[in-house]
């Protein structure tokens, strides 16, 4: 293979789309490397800054792979880091993996002439793809981070992209009205400003915080309590949550008093809930705000669940043995997890994916599938 960026971009297009798609040309012609000159590389418990100019071949391989490249960790942007700098903390901005972007755009049912709001500027790569497909005049992109918007605007302008970029809190007032809203950040609830900015018949595509599925909803224009209707699609997706400051507030990390609570035997082996997206999502609907930790030492596995109300659970086991579980607080969190796993065994699935959804003017999402009902 030639080592030009164009050859790498075409190879990426072959992975995430096909020549008959409207996205083939945009993926082949968009120089993602110019939008992601630096990024943070995950190194177990820390992040190391990578500068593309240090090794062009490695830069092109990384940038034109179908992967997310983290560009900001906590309050630190890779553009401002020293070579081989190391930091820790949660990622706060990224260039989303191209395949997921195209999945979101497919669910948005985009069409020529549609005014599109791109929520979450990030590196600007998604904005560039949208502009190449629909024309930059139709695209407005917003982000809460002034530097991200400034850097993306300059780089996109150098590429001739004419989209409108603005600094805005996506959960607050929006700079216009739109036929489509596509969000690559997670929200909860749906911001009422989105409902207000969406034109009748307009469609939004997003994820809800902690729920790893794509929500689509079309504004009905009805005067009733529910102003948009859609469903959770069958595709999985996870995005960073919206934030109001330079970093996320700290998660609850207080270590539970292990002398408290009840001890028993779990019904199923220990599972890493954070990596079990359907379980994680269903738990988040019933117990919003849960924090999960998972540790492995040889064949020994320990999982923690901690809730802001003081509830906690710890399960430990070797291999596939049933775990010893200790839990305390107003919620029995491991019991809730085991109940979900039992339901999956009985029904062969959980009801989240494919569930119908109705959105109220205040942003609450009501869900239904079969006999299951939930509200987010």
Q: What confidence tens digit (pLDDT) does each residue in 294-340 have?
A: 999 999 999 999 999 999 999 999 999 999 999 999 999 999 999 99
Q: What is the pLDDT of residue 279?
A: 95
Which tens digit of pLDDT belongs to each residue from 332-364? 999 999 999 999 999 999 999 999 999 999 999
Residue spans of alpha helices (H) in the chain: 5-16, 24-29, 32-35, 56-63, 98-108, 125-134, 146-158, 192-197, 277-286, 333-347
> What is the C-alpha R_g of the chain?
22
The distance from CA 126 to its chain's CA centroid, rounded to whole angstroms, is 14
Name the pLDDT band for 174 (thresholds 50, 70, 90). Answer: very high
> Rounded to whole angstroms, how far apart are CA atoms 34 and 56?
12
Each residue's pLDDT tens digit, 206-255: 999 999 999 999 999 776 778 999 999 999 998 988 888 788 877 655 56
CATH architecture, range 5-82+92-236? 3-Layer(aba) Sandwich (3.40)
Q: How far apart are CA 17 and CA 371, in angstroms?
A: 37
**Structure tokens given for 160:** 């001739």
CATH 1.10.3470 fits 262-347, yes or no: no
* CA–CA distance, 209 with 281 (Å, rounded to integer): 9
Distance, CA of 327 to CA of 129 (rounded, Å): 48
Q: Are strands 262-265 and 324-328 parallel, antiparallel or unpaired?
A: antiparallel
- CA dist 340 and 63 (Å) reads 38
Domain regions of the chain by residue span = 5-82+92-236, 262-347
Q: What is the pTM of this model?
A: 0.93
Is 310:329 a contact under the CB 8 Å cutoff?
Answer: yes
For residue 197, what are its two tokens?
């900015």
Q: For position 253, what pLDDT does the model report?
A: 55
């Amino acid at each position: 293979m030639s080592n030009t960026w164009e050859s790498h971009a075409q190879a990426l297009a072959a992975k995430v789309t096909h020549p008959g798609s409207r996205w083939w040309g945009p993926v082949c012609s968009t120089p993602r490397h110019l939008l992601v000159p630096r990024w943070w590389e995950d190194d177990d418990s820390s992040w190391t800054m990578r500068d593309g100019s240090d090794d062009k071949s490695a830069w092109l391989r990384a940038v034109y792979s179908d992967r997310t490249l983290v560009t900001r960790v906590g309050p630190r942007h890779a553009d401002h880091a020293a070579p081989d700098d190391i930091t820790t903390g949660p990622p706060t901005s990224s260039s989303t993996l191209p395949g997921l972007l195209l999945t979101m755009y497919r669910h948005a049912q985009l069409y020529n002439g549609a005014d599109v709001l791109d929520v979450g500027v990030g590196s600007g790569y998604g904005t560039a793809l949208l502009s190449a497909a629909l024309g930059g005049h139709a695209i407005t992109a917003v982000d809460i981070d002034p530097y991200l918007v400034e850097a993306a605007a300059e780089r996109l302008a150098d590429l001739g992209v004419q989209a409108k970029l603005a600094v805005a809190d996506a959960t607050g007032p929006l700079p216009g009205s739109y036929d489509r809203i596509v969000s690559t950040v997670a929200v909860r609830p749906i911001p009422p400003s989105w409902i207000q900015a969406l034109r009748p018949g307009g469609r939004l595509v997003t994820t809800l915080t902690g729920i790893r599925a794509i929500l689509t909803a079309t504004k009905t224009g009805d005067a009733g309590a529910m102003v948009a209707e859609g469903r959770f699609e069958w595709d999985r997706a996870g995005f960073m949550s919206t934030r109001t400051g330079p970093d996320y507030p700290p998660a609850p990390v207080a270590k539970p008093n292990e002398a408290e609570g009840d001890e028993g035997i779990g019904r199923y082996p220990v599972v890493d809930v954070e990596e079990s997206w359907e379980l994680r999502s269903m738990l988040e609907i019933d117990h919003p705000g849960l924090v999960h930790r998972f540790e492995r030492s040889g064949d020994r596995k320990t999982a923690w669940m901690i809730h802001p109300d003081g509830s906690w659970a710890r399960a430990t086991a070797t291999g596939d043995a049933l775990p010893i579980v200790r839990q305390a607080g107003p919620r029995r969190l491991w019991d809730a997890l085991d109940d979900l796993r039992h339901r999956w065994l009985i029904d062969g699935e959980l009801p989240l994916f494919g569930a119908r959804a109705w959105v109220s003017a205040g942003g609450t999402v009501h869900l239904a599938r079969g006999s299951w009902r939930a509200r987010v």
